[in-house]
Amino acid sequence: MPLELTKIRNDFPILSQKVHNKPLIYFDNGATTQKPWEVINRISEYYKTENSNVHRGTHYLSQVATDHFENARKYISEFIGASNQRELIFTKGATESINLVATAMSDYINPDDEIIITAMEHHSNMVPWQQLCLKRKANLKHLTIQPDGSLDLNKLERLISPSTKLLAISHISNVLGTINPIKEIVRIAHKHNIPVLVDGAQAIAHIKVDVQELDCDFYAFSAHKAYGPMGMGALYGKAEWLDRLSPYQFGGEMISTVSFSKTTFNEIPYKFEAGTPDVAGALGMEAGLRYIDKLGIDNIRKHEDELLEYATAKVQELEGVSVIGESNDKTAVLSIVIEGIHPFDLGTLLDQMGIAVRTGNHCAQPLMSCLNISGTLRASFGLYNTKDEVDIFIVGLKKAVSMLV
């Protein structure tokens, strides 16, 4: 059913403010989404009435906080289709989730082994593997993109070799909006006994994610991309992998027993969660995903796809505009370049009109090199954005271009 946009927008207090005396139009959801009252109130309620350290106390508040913390883990694991909440590790976000796996996989990467990524990866799903390869004297290979921003899976088959030990790939490109065929990619990799890590930071709020259906070995995502708080995220990992991998941080909570001579580690997921967790963040993350669930991910997807189609058609009417990323399967992201105009200049002028967009290389410098551009202007949409806002954005673009040519 269609989203009730007026009601939804009232759920997000930040959207009612003005920027430079103009109504805020927030088209930077790929960087972070805004937060509904459900999330804001849940975090506030925790600190007002439940604040206590979890797993470590017999007193009432500790038990309440522990129950809510673990219930959040259960809900989030169910949201992504995990078979067991033991397979969900709380982290600071997708970046830490990927770094966790990259560090823990060090024991399984040997000289001349290979790790495959794609040319469209965010730095967070590139630099950790690059550094791991440097450390272990292994080789980092990348799968190129096609002109429309999609991947050629035949090339992936040819890129895989007996030395390939892992494939790391984004579910949705933060620049191109391309939705990669993860299920088929995982099938190809598993045919060669290669584990797959998926960077789901750009997917979790926009399309249905079912890690069992995808059959991926790891799935990383962040709360703040899905209407939850910053500094919170999760890593899904198949139990057989998480049981094999060694923890990458050490301290309290992640241990079973400690003596001066030896330490044994806790069971999963706790062996990967050293120190006091961000309990409020976990509860806020749960609240953000529940908000998505309440509206229905299919309804959100339909709304955002219509918005993307509408905005794409509008910008293509402008002279000198090129859309970067035209895959048949994409969502929520519209990246453009305008001939002879730097994206930063456009973004600065649009900001003066109250329109928030992102400009630059979007933490994807190698992709920009492949595309032979320095950066793009990116409008990334969320569930609260409207076609009226797109119309204002188009008017703003025309005005900015007229001032810069």
List the catalytic residues.
363
Rounded Cα distance between 107 and 166, Å, is 13
Strands (E) located in 203-340: 218-222, 233-237, 255-258, 263-265, 321-324, 333-338
Is residue 112 within 8 Å of residue 137, measured between CB atoms? yes
Instruction: Please give the DSSP secondary-structure letter assigned to residue 28.
Output: B
Alpha-carbon Rg for the chain in angstroms: 22
Q: If we measure between CA atoms, which residue out of 321, 314, 292 comes closest to residue 76?
A: 292
Distance from the Cα of residue 326 to its chain's centroid: 20
For residue 256, count CB atoms less than 10 angstroms from its CB and return exposed for 0-12, middle for 13-18, buried for 19 or more. Answer: exposed
Which phi and psi angles does 303 have, rounded to 5°?
Answer: -65, -45
What are the DSSP E strand ranges found in 241-282?
255-258, 263-265
Q: Which two tokens stand for residue 286?
A: 């749960």
* Alpha carbon separation from 254 to 53, 282, 292 (Å, rounded): 15, 18, 31
Which of 71, 44, 36, 80 lies closest to 182 in space, CA to CA? 80
Tell me the pairing of strands 196-199 and 164-170: parallel
Report the Cα 290 to chain-centroid distance in Å: 17
Q: Cα 100 vs. chain centroid, distance in angstroms?
A: 15
